[in-house]
Amino acid sequence: MTETNTRVALVTGGTGGIGRAVVDRLAEDGFALAVHYAGNKAKADETVKAVEARGGRAIAVAGDVADEVAMAAAFDAVEAEFGGIDVVVNTAGIMLLSPIATLNLDDLDRMHRTNIRGTFVVSQQAARRLRRGGALINVSSSLTRLQFPTYGAYAASKGAVEAMTLVLARELRGKDITVNAVAPGPTATPLFLEGKDQAALDNLSKAAPLERLGTPEDIAEPIAFLAGPARWINGQTVYANGGIA
């Protein structure tokens, strides 16, 4: 075990659009990073090398977020490398769209496994392991408030993320650990852009008063705030959406 005074963050889905931006942003703040990935080791290794090239410390850890054994092993690896964990940012998630009336229930189960069970498993590990002064930030979605057609099942899964986040914040009374959720609006990530034509993207870009889609960096900024100086924000969902809702 390597003891360090540097704060340590584990970012699940750390190679995705928002996850990668969070890794880069927390590295700027001096965190040592654990970049979690589910399947793309090469992308995780590239992310680690990018942090190291800027003088930071990082490792890659693997595992299915919904598998409690795999995620316990991932947390073990982070603690073995850095001596502890101060911040967990849970960006891992999937989005499968369909009207509720015609949704394939296998797709519902897939989203439930990753978005709900996965968030629960990671939150459970974080609740057990975060050091005093730590923070857990889960990622919800502003789609829980927007009522967009075809997003019903996805929004439902993210509503569950918010519910467990706000309850956990109260359950950790006395541990000096904050628990919050960040709820992005339409954000230009590969996950969000997939399957949308230019007309749809143009309409979404105009929906917010700022008249653009969010960027992964827009979402990483409030996450970094909650991970660092925002110690008096606890048990909240922060809507990072440019004013769309």
Q: Which of 37, 151, 154, 239 is catalytic?
A: 154
Coil, strand or helix at 5:
coil
pLDDT band at 1 (very low <50, low <70, confident <90, very high): very low
Q: What are the CB-based long-range contacts (under 8 Å, 24+) for 164-172?
A: 164/119, 164/120, 164/123, 164/138, 165/119, 165/123, 165/136, 165/138, 165/140, 165/235, 165/237, 166/235, 166/236, 166/237, 168/123, 168/127, 168/136, 169/234, 169/235, 169/236, 170/235, 171/127, 172/127
151 is catalytic: no
Q: What is the pLDDT of residues 172-216, one digit of tens each?
A: 999 999 999 999 998 888 777 777 778 888 888 888 899 898 899
Average pLDDT value over all residues in the chain: 94
Q: What is d(CA 140, CA 239) in angstroms, rounded to the nearest whole number?
A: 9
Q: What is the pLDDT of residues 51-96, one digit of tens each?
A: 999 999 999 999 999 999 999 999 999 999 999 999 999 999 999 9
Q: How confident is the model over 230-239, as a mean pLDDT? A: 97
Fold observed for domain 8-237: Rossmann fold (3.40.50)
For the chain, percent of residues with pLDDT exceeding 90: 84
